[in-house]
């Protein structure tokens, strides 16, 4: 994430104030969630997995959504033509 210019504080901001936009409840070993939020006024997606048994949140990846894959709201996936 650091190579993408995403800071740990950005991830904390998204964790605290973000919106779950997709759920992957069948993921293993833990269900995962795609979270959208703003970090330093820029859109950010963070994929996290949550272990209910030990109440841990694991950050899988974080990236800035692009207009090729998402609509301008940065939440709605673009339909493939």
pLDDT tens-place values along the chain, 81 residues long: 667 789 888 888 888 889 999 999 999 999 999 999 999 999 999 999 999 999 999 999 999 998 888 888 988 888 876
- Looking at residue 23, its pLDDT comes to 96
**Tokens standing for residue 7:** 């800071």
Q: What is the per-residue pLDDT for 2? A: 60
pLDDT of residue 1: 62
| Burial class of residue 15, CB neighbours in 10 A (0-12, 13-18, 19+) | middle
Q: Where are the domains of the chain?
A: 2-63
Quick one: how many helices (H) and strands (E) in the chain? 1, 4
Query: Which tokens sit at 1?
Result: 């994430």
């Amino acid at each position: 994430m650091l190579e993408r210019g995403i800071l740990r504080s950005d991830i904390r901001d998204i964790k605290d104030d973000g919106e779950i936009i997709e759920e992957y409840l069948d993921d293993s070993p833990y269900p995962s969630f795609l979270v959208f939020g703003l970090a330093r006024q820029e859109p950010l997606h963070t994929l996290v997995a949550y272990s209910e048994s030990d109440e841990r949140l694991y950050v899988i990846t974080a990236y800035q959504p692009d207009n090729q894959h998402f609509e301008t709201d940065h939440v709605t996936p673009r339909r493939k033509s």
